[in-house]
Amino acid sequence: MYGFGYFNPSYFIFILPALLLAFYAQFKVKSAYAKWGQIRNERNLTGMDAARIILGPEDLGDVQVEGVAGQLTDNYDPRTKILHLSQGVAQQPSVAALAVTAHEIGHALQDHTNFAPLRLRGAIVPAVQVSAWVAPIMFFIGLIFNFAGLAWLGIILFSAGAVFALITLPVELDASRRGLHLLQTYNLTDGRELAGAKSVLSAAALTYVAALAQTLATLLYYVSLLGGFGRRR
C-alpha cells in the first residue's frame, strides 16, 4: 500500500525533460520580447494604433480593444469580443507590440470565421478547469487506498488537460500565421521587423509546446505509478 509519504523518484525521469523545455521556452519568450520590445517600428505605431488600423477594414463586428494590467497578459476573449492589450504592448511603438497585437487579432479572426479548433477549445474549458484539481485528488486517493478504478478515473479526467493543450497548439500557431499575414497586408512591418515579429511569436509558440510536454509527462507518470501499483497487488 502507498503511504502518504510515498514518493517515486521516477517522477524526475518523466518530468525533468518537460521542465527543462519549459524553462527554455520562458527564456526564449522573455529574451525575444526584451529585444524586440526595445526596437521601435518604422511607422512608430503602438499596439493600440495597429489594432485600430487592422480592425477597421477587417470588419470583425463588435470587437473592442481595452488595456489590461501586467506584462504579456494580452488576450482575446471570444465571449465578450474584447481584445486585451497589456500596457507595454498598447502604449509602446515597438516591433514586439505589433507582433503581439497582430497575434491577438488573429484570434479575433478565428472567432469571426468560426475556426473549429478555437470553438472546440472553448467548449472543453469548463471540463478542464474542474478536472485540473479534481483528477489528481481522485488519482492519489485511489492509489493510496488501493482503489485502482478511482485512480484510473482520475487519469481519464486528467487527460482532458492533455487534450486541451493539444488543441491549443494549432489554435496559437494559426493565430500567429494570421497575425503575420495582417502585418504584411497592412504594411505595418518591413522585412527586418517582420523577422523580429516572427521571432517573438515563434518563442511564444514554444511555450505551448512545453505546456503540452509537461501535461503528457505528468500523465505518463501517473500511468507508470498505477502500473507499479498493479504489479504490487
Q: Rounded to an integer, what distance in angstroms lies between the CA atom of residue 55 and that of residue 106?
A: 11
pLDDT of residue 3: 39
Q: Rounded to an integer, what distance in angstroms lies between the CA atom of residue 101 and that of residue 83?
A: 9
The radius of gyration computed from the CA coordinates of the chain, to the nearest angstrom, equals: 21
Q: Which residues are catalytic?
A: 104
The pTM of the whole model exceeds 0.95: no
Rounded (10°) angle between helices 148-185 and 116-144: 150
Q: Rounded to an integer, what distance in angstroms lies between the CA atom of residue 223 and that of residue 150?
A: 13
pLDDT of residue 96: 97
> Any residues with CB less than 8 A from the CB of 145 and at least 6 apart, and which?
1
CA angle (96 as vertex; 91, 100 as ends), nearest 5: 85
pLDDT per residue rounded down to tens, the chain (233 residues):
343 344 567 778 889 999 999 999 999 999 999 999 999 999 999 999 999 999 988 778 789 999 999 988 999 999 999 999 999 999 999 999 999 999 999 999 999 999 999 999 999 999 999 999 999 999 999 988 989 999 999 999 999 999 999 999 999 999 999 999 999 999 999 889 999 999 999 999 999 999 999 999 999 999 988 876 545 55
Domains of the chain, by residue range, sit at: 10-232
Query: Which runs of consecutive H residues, i.e. helices, occur in the chain?
Result: 10-36, 47-58, 87-91, 95-112, 116-144, 148-185, 191-232
Classify 1 as helix, strand or coil.
coil
Taking CA atoms, 181 is separated from 10, 26, 78, 169, in Å, by 45, 25, 21, 19
pLDDT of residue 4: 38
